[in-house]
A and B are shown apart, each in its own frame.
Chain A
Amino acid sequence: MKWNDRKIVNTVITAGSFAGIGLLAAAFVLELIGTAVPLDAALLKALSLTGIIILIFTPISAMVSLSVYFAATRQWKWAAAAAFAGILMAATFFVVRA
């Protein structure tokens, strides 16, 4: 199988989004059941929270993978651009928080 930038980013995004969405879907089904039968609220919260956290870190993981791919294929200019974009994204986490 021949890898390219799209395939690498797609693999990371598909894996991350399906893991996150899977947990959210489980929480949703339990929530629906819970309207008839009381369930542990902490379990539902933990499932939803983990699902959303996985979704949050998926795009950043994709940018890191993209940067690594460009570096591995010696596309230095694009590797630097993707890495710099990733650094700026990480910076927004702290700036917006402040």
Chain B
Amino acid sequence: MIFLLLLLVIGAVAGFLGALLGLGGGIVIVPALTLIPYFHMTIHEAIAISMTGVLATSLGGTSHFLSEGLTDLKLGTLLMLGTTAGAIAGSLLSHTLNSSLLEMIFPLVLIYASYEMLKHQYADNAPDAAIRHALPGVGLAFFAGVFAGVFGVGGGAINVSVMHLVMGAPMKTATATSNFMIGTTASAATFVYLLKGAINLTAATPVVLGVFTGARIGSRMLKRINTVLLKRIFVVIMILVAIEMLYHGIKGYL
């Protein structure tokens, strides 16, 4: 019973942060399931459960964001063209690309985006404001998709940065729209894991329930939270993701 309740709590924390920041929540689930010896899970089992959690984060947060008018569906649709095409290209290229080199380049992009996010104060215009720099935005989303296709992570962080820094979307609109977008990519990945029989249903059920509840609470917090604080939390998480990827990249190279 403690096993199930612990998974529920881990899911709730991941869902809360995921919905608040427009990320999947895998950054919490995967390390928790693999590093806490109590769960005895391999990285592959953890990733499969995490992907189901990402789907629940998106669904839990999106319905509230939509009713609050924070999600920009047209912006999300436009970027989804780039990310999904990129994810397909990434999956096809994953055997030929030098993944260790990419894992070392991508963290530098994240660190640069973090710096830009802290340095500039972009006007938080209303949702549904005209989309700026659509073509470069879709192009960058394509590269985010390639990266997500190769590694299965990183899509949310790049989506938020592209929408906010390149396309001029307010930070809260960017996180809410990213929340909607990650659900569509996670659904495809979860489907594949399910067909392969890689999802441990006993463990995934409490994680998904926790994530969904956490995401609903996180989505309610987003409207109230100060944008500057939100940006700072986002930057800290991006730097943590960057460090983790850099570590993997260097380890793979050696």
- A60 near B59 (CB under 8 angstroms)? no
- B84 near A31 (CB under 8 angstroms)? no
Q: Mark B56-92, 1 if CB is under 8 A from A, else 0.
A: 1011101100110101011001101100110110011
The count of chain A contact residues (Cβ–Cβ below 8 Å) is 46
Task: List chain B residues, Cβ under 8 A from A13.
Answer: 59, 62-63, 66
A3 at the interface (CB under 8 A from B): no
Closest CB in chain A relative to B10 CB, distance in Å: 14
> How many A-B Cβ pairs are below 8 Å?
143
A71 at the interface (CB under 8 A from B): no
- With A and B bound together, what is the CA distance between A5 and B55 in angstroms? 21
Assuming A9-B66, A84-B81, is B73 touching A96 (CB within 8 A)?
A: no
- With A and B bound together, what is the CA distance between A53 and B206 in angstroms? 16
Q: What are 5 of the A-B contact pairs (CB < 8 Å)?
A: A10-B63, A51-B208, A89-B185, A92-B88, A96-B91
Please list the residues of chain A having a beta carbon within 8 angstroms of any beta carbon in chain B.
5-7, 9-10, 13-14, 16-17, 20-21, 24-25, 27-28, 31-32, 35, 44-45, 48-49, 51-53, 55-60, 63, 66, 78, 81-82, 84-85, 88-89, 91-93, 95-97
